[in-house]
Each structure stands twice: as C-alpha cells, then as structure tokens.
A and B are shown apart, each in its own frame.
Chain A
Amino acid sequence: MNSYLRSQKRVVLRNCGQIDPNSIEEYISSGGYRALKRALLEMEPAAVVQTVKDSGLRGRGGAGFPTGLKWEFAAKAEGDPKFVICNADEGEPGTFKDRLILEGDPHCVIEGMVIAAYAVGASKGYLYIRGEYGQSYETITNALKQARSAGFLGNDIAGSGFGFDIVVRSGAGAYVCGEETALMESIEGKRGESRVKPPYPTDKGLWGYPTVINNVETLANIPPIIENGADWFRQIGTPTSPGTKVFTLTGDVMNRGLVEVPMGTTLRTLVFDVGGGIPRGRKFKMAQTGGSSGGCLPASLLDIPLDFDSLREVDSSLGSGALLIVDDSHCIVDVVKSFMHFFEHESCGKCTPCREGTYRLARLVEKIEDEEATLADLDVLSRLCRVMERSCLCGLGQAAPKPVLTTLKYFKEEYLVHLRDQAASKGA
C-alpha cells in the first residue's frame, strides 16, 4: 500500500466511491439504516444521547462542540416542536468535504439526522444546502424521496411509531449563513445576520424552538457510532478528539483533494505522506488550518498533531478541516490580503467592529503590500485585530483576525520588508 492510502482511515467516507449514491438498495446492503433501526427499535432516546456523549464525538463544522452534550441540551429543553438542522452551507474556502459526502453517500447523512431527531424528540428537519451546490441538491432530494418510500422518513419510521421528515432549503450565496444562527434567520426567510447568543439554538433556535444544528460530517459519524459503539469510536483518534477527520488538501501540494485520517495525525504526515509533498521542487512555507479564519503555521510546527486542542494551543483551529498549503514562491502578505478581501466581502454588516474592522484590515494589508505602511501601521493592525477578537458579535468577525495575528507572529519579517521605511523596521 502506498503512503497515500496507508495513513487513511475511512469512517465517514466508508461508502463514498464504493456505492451508487442514487441507490438506497446499495446503501442498505452495505449496512445502511441498520443503526437507525437499532436506535429507534431497541434504544430509548436517552440511551442514544448517552452513546453519542460517551463516544466523545465533537462537531465537525468548526467549533468542535461535544455533539452528545448538544443533543442532551435540546432533549431537555422545553418546547414543541423541536427541530434538527443539517448544516450543509459549506462556504469555507478550501473546503468541499460536505459536498462530496452528500454527493457520495447522502443516505448516511439522512440516517444521522433521523437518529438525532429521535434522540432529542424533533419532528421536523431542515437540510440547508449551499446555493452553489446544485448537484448535491439533486442527489439529496432524490435520496430523501427514496428514504420516504422505504419508510425511513415520514410517520412511523421503521415501525417504531416515531415520525420525522426533512425539507431541503437552498442558500443563496452568503458565507455567514454557515453560522448557525444566521442560517436559522435565512431559513426563516430573512437576511442571514447572526443572532446574539445566548439564547443558544438548543433553547431557542428555529422560529424560537429548541433546535439541534449539526454539520454534515458530524451527522455522517452517527450511524457508525450507534452501530459499533462508543468504545470502538474512542479507539480512533486522540482522547479529547476521538474519531477521524476529513481534510481537504489544497494549494501547493502534490495530491490535492479529500482525505480522511485519524484525529491527531501530524501536519507533516498529511502534507508529505498523504499529500505527496510540495510540487515543482519548492519548499513548504506555511499551512493554514481550518479555512480562511484559521491560523497560519510555519515549517517549525509541522509536527503538530491535527486535533481540536493541539491546534488551539498554537492559536489556530481545526475548523472545517481545510488545509491550505503555501510554498516558498509566495509572499505571505499577498496571501493574507486574499483572506482579508474575503472577510470584507462576507461580513454581514450587523455589528460595527466587524463591518468596519474587516474593511480596515483589508486596507491596511493592501497598504503594507504597496510598501506604503510604517511600523505604526503594523501596530494599528494588531490592535485592530485584538479589538475585533473581543468585540465582534459572531465567529466571523471574531476569527477574521486570526490569519493576520498568526502571520505577524510567525512571519513578521515578511511584513517588515514591505514597510516604507525599512531602516526604521531594522532598528525595531
């Protein structure tokens, strides 16, 4: 086996490319909907919640919140009806795992949603899918129809007496709608602007009712956990981040694309073994983990294990599993500028620190790239970052400064050579 395959372990992607995504029969014959039957026919809802809690599964949409705990909050919350939402808005640049899961194995996401609904007592589900993902929309719509006629959705699912159905909603091009409360605003037919938290969605979510919202990959982990048990799941990955993670390798790396490895696999293994190294004889310069709002890590951190906690320690994040590899032909300031343009464009504009802050960040980084900035500007830049981290309303504005702060920390010299008065910077 070559190193590309050896390091991989398929849990979430077990069926992708192996079965016909348009055939529920193939899904069932590969063991599909067994977990659903076990949960609905043999387990109490509280036991399902407990199994997911015991598994240690943490949300794969970015924040890494313990899934079982989230379900428990929603199960205990007062309110009727309750909702389950599958977050398939996937707008994070460099991330396309949810699209490939939905297009490759749609039934495992549906199965995960039904189990979640049973666990928390929800009667209706929404699958909110990114507007640009036309193919996924069709695949999932077709899969929902099949699941309905096979009795895995609707009234009295699999003879259990439990009823639940799923509606697909399409986004319309707004990155911030991936944020859970903005997504709910969008389903409610409004502008996708984030809400103030608390109250959290498990208490007051969609239309004010208790709501569980989970990422596609999180939900795809549920059937194997119910089927094989929490202990099995805990054998994979690290003690605080059990399981596997699907990563999308992009940028200057030989094998660009989707890989699934145990949590805690090092960055070096992913870039050089799984990813096949840096093309055209160039050298590794930095890796950004977690998407646009992730930290930018230098070569000295290549041995860091990729899991929620290890990355937090170096001011980065696992995020959605995006890994952008940048070789030594690129200028860091130019790459950071591209991130800042993204945030400037995607800020929803509801709160001032982010609406104005993302604009100012972009202008400052442009000024640095144009060699018109001074040391004082660098100071303003990092102060603005600190203000935004503390005062922005939602994760978009709070995390937008991360690539700036981490590059200022690890690649400061690249900023300094751009300053108008290089002499002044040398003295500093």
Chain B
Amino acid sequence: MNACSTAPTLSTETDKQIDRVIEEYKDEPSPLLEILNEVQHIFGYLSDDMLIAISEKLSIPTSQVYGVATFYSLLSTRPKGKHIIRVCESAPCHVMGSESVLRAVKDELGIDLGETTPDGLFTLESTSCLGICSVGPAMMVNDRVFGNLTREKVRLILRRYAKDKEASVS
C-alpha cells in the first residue's frame, strides 16, 4: 500500500457510498472502527483503495487505518468467498470434538484455514467462542449458526450451500 497515493482508483459510486457512511458518523468522535465495520458490511472486504480513501477523508494516516483494519479478525483486507464458514475452535467446542468437524470441512471443500475455494463459493476460517457452547461443536455459515455437528451433518450442510449458488451473500 502506498501512503503517498492521493488518487485512489475507486469508482464514483463506491466513493459516494463511503462518503455516506462517514456522514452517518460525523457527530461521533473517532468513529474509525465503526466506519470500517460499515464499509466492509457493504463491500464484503476493505480494499487498499478503500482504506486510502477513508484515511484521506478522515485525515488519519493510512498506516493507522491499515493498522486498525488488520488488527481485528472480523475485518478483512482481502476479498472472501460467497459463503464464509467459521468453525469454533475454542476449548468447549474442542472438548466436544471440533477438530473432527474442522477436518470434515477441509475434506469436503479441499481447502485449508484462511483459504477460499477456487470457484469463490466458500472461505474457511476458525473463530473463537461463538457463545453457543451448549450446542457444541458449532460453526457459523455466514450469519447462521449450526450446532451439535458431526462429520455427516457438516457434509450435508455444505452440500446444501454448494447447490444453492444463488443464496444471498451475507
């Protein structure tokens, strides 16, 4: 990323949308994290150009904007698949067998943690506790929670999402 860049190559539409988000938070002191959350919500991820634009509009050094964007695990500076799978890896799910759930997802999709399938359909991530330990082992697909998982159940769920290519993006 080039901090000196002054003319990010964002489409006017994207630029306008970012302006609208910033406008929404104009009365809040230091709303950077809120703005990043919101912009990612709209575009799915935060590109370098978006980060540069945000830094210029807020007059915050690009390094600081980038530092924040890469600190938080829910923020992503890379595009992700259409469906994001988050397997809970915390101790309560670990005890209930999350390792075999994770293996089942990897086997089914042929990707490792942090990777996206070549067709751009799935991204696999791990997550810390989702707060649904009473139905562990658990995972999330987009905003939906699935609990009491077994290898078989994982396979069924993923195949359903794979078939449903038109399913709405989270």
Contact = CB atoms under 8 A, between A and B. Distances in A.
Q: A and B, one complex?
A: yes
Contact of B90 (A90, A186, A292): A292
B67 A191 contact: yes
B42 interface: no
A165 to B, nearest CB: 12
Given A96-B133, A173-B72, A173-B75, A131 B37 contact: yes
Contacts of A288: 91
Contact of A172 (B74, B91, B132, B143): B74
Contacts of A172: 33, 36-37, 72-75
Interface stretch (B7-15, B92-100, B104-112): B92-100
Interface centre among B33, B134, B136 (most CB of A within 10 A): B33
B130 to A, nearest CB: 6
A131 B95 contact: no
Nearest to B136: A250
Interface string B51-80: 000000000100010011001111100000
Interface string B30-59: 111110110000000000000000000000
A171 to B, nearest CB: 7
B61 to A, nearest CB: 12
B interface bracket (residues with beta carbon within 8 Å of A)? 35 or more
A46 B88 CA distance: 45
A132 B96 contact: no
Given A92-B129, A94-B133, A192-B71, A186 B91 contact: no
A341 interface: yes
B114 interface: no
A43 interface: no
A324 B95 contact: yes
Given A94-B90, A189-B31, A170 B129 contact: no
Contact of A170 (B28, B34, B68, B90): B34
Nearest to B94: A338
B127 interface: yes
A167 B29 CA distance: 12
A131 B74 contact: yes
Contacts of A192: 71-72
Nearest to A346: B128
Nearest to A94: B92
A248 B91 contact: no
A191 B72 CA distance: 8
A168 B157 CA distance: 34
B118 interface: no
A250 B92 contact: yes
Given A250-B95, A251-B96, 12 more contacts: A93-B133, A95-B131, A131-B72, A133-B131, A175-B128, A188-B29, A188-B30, A190-B30, A207-B30, A250-B134, A326-B95, A341-B89
Interface of B: 28-34, 36-37, 60, 64, 67-68, 71-75, 89-92, 94-96, 127-136, 143
20 contacts: A93-B128, A95-B129, A99-B131, A167-B28, A169-B33, A173-B72, A187-B30, A191-B71, A250-B95, A250-B134, A251-B91, A251-B95, A251-B133, A252-B95, A256-B133, A258-B134, A326-B95, A335-B94, A338-B90, A342-B91
